[in-house]
A and B are shown apart, each in its own frame.
Chain A
Amino acid sequence: MSSHAFVLYMVAIKPFQTSGINWYVLANETFYSTLIIAMFIFSDATPELNIKFGAAVALIAALILIVFANLLTNIVYMIRGKEKLKNDIRAQKKKRSE
C-alpha cells in the first residue's frame, strides 16, 4: 500500500532534479508494486492454478523489468557522464523557475 502511495506521490510531485531520475524511480517503484502484488497472488492467497501461473509470469516479468531499468539507468549515466547530468539539472531548474 505504501508503495502505491509513493507511486502516486511520484506522479504528482516529481520530487527529483531531472525528469530522467523521476522516470527511473517511478519505473522502479511501479515494477516493485507489481512484484509485491504478484508475489501475494503466487503464494497461498489462492488455490487456483491458472491464477497462480498468471501471477508467476507477472512476477518474473516485474523482476526482469526492475533489473533492466537499473541496468539501463546505470549504463546511460555512465555513458553521459557527470557534466551532462549537471547540465540536465541546470536546464531543469531553469525550466521550473520559468
Chain B
Amino acid sequence: MPIYNFRFIPYLYDAFKPALVSHMIIFDETPIYNGMDDEYFNKNYKNYWLSVGRLSQAFFFYLVFLVIIIIFNIVFFVLSKCPVGTKNMKEWVSKKLTQFKFNVYIRFYMLIYFDTTFFAVMKIFEGNNSTTNRKVALLFSYVVFVINIVLPVVLVVLIYRRFDILKIKTAKQSFNTLLLRIDKNSKTRVVVPAYFFLRRCLTACLLTMSIENTFIFL
C-alpha cells in the first residue's frame, strides 16, 4: 500500500503488474471515461502509477460482480418456482437459494467493504469539489461512508442479539458467512466479525493521512 513513501516498492509493484488483474485494474487507460487517469490522491499514489481512473476500474468491476450475483439470484429463484425437475434437483436449488438470503450478499459486502470505505474517505478528504460531477461524487462518498459505518454495526448487533439461537443450523444459515468456523459457546466471539469491519474501516481512514502526519505510525 502506498502509505510509507517507499522508494523501492513501486518498482516491485510494477514487476508484479499482471497481478493487477486480480484486483480488477485491467486497463492502463480507463475505457469510456479517461478524465481521471492523470489524477492522483497524493504523490504516493503517483509513485505507484495508481491514478483515480485506474482505481475506479476496480470500483466499476465490483458493480459488475453485484449484477452477476443478482442475475444468479433471479435464475435460482425462477428455477425454484418451476414445477419441473427431480426432487434432488429441487432440494439443490432451494439449498442454493437460501445462500442468497443473505450469505452471498453479506460476503460480497465484506469483500468490497475496504475499497468502498477507502474511496469514500479519500473523496471526502480530497477537497476539490469545483465541478458538479465532483459535488455528486462527494455526496455519494458521504452516503457510502455513513452506510459503511451503520451497516456493520447493524450486522454485528443482529448476530449478537441472535447469538443463542444461531447455534441451530437453520437459524444461522442466513448469517453463516459472518460466523464462519467461529465457536458459538460465548457471545464474545462476535468480536471476530466486528474486528473484520473495524480493521478495514480504520485502515481506509489511515490511508488518507499524508506522509507528514504525526499519526501515520498508527
Contact = CB atoms under 8 A, between A and B. Distances in A.
Nearest to B6: A43
Interface in A7-22: 9, 13-18, 21
B155 interface: no
A15 B199 contact: no
Contacts of A14: 183
B71 interface: no
Interface residues of A, number: 20
A43 B44 CA distance: 12
Contacts of A45: 4, 217
Contacts of A68: none
B199 A17 contact: no
Interface in B185-218: 185-186, 188-189, 191-192, 195, 198-199, 202, 211, 217-218
Contacts of A9: 191, 195
Contacts of A1: 218
A40 B216 CA distance: 10
Contact of A15 (B5, B191, B217, B218): B191
Contacts of B211: 44
B181 interface: yes
A67 to B, nearest CB: 13
Contacts of A16: 181-183
A59 B186 CA distance: 36
A58 to B, nearest CB: 15
B199 A2 contact: yes
Interface of A: 1-3, 6, 9, 13-18, 21, 39-40, 42-45, 92, 96
Interface of B: 4-6, 181-183, 185-186, 188-189, 191-192, 195, 198-199, 202, 211, 217-218
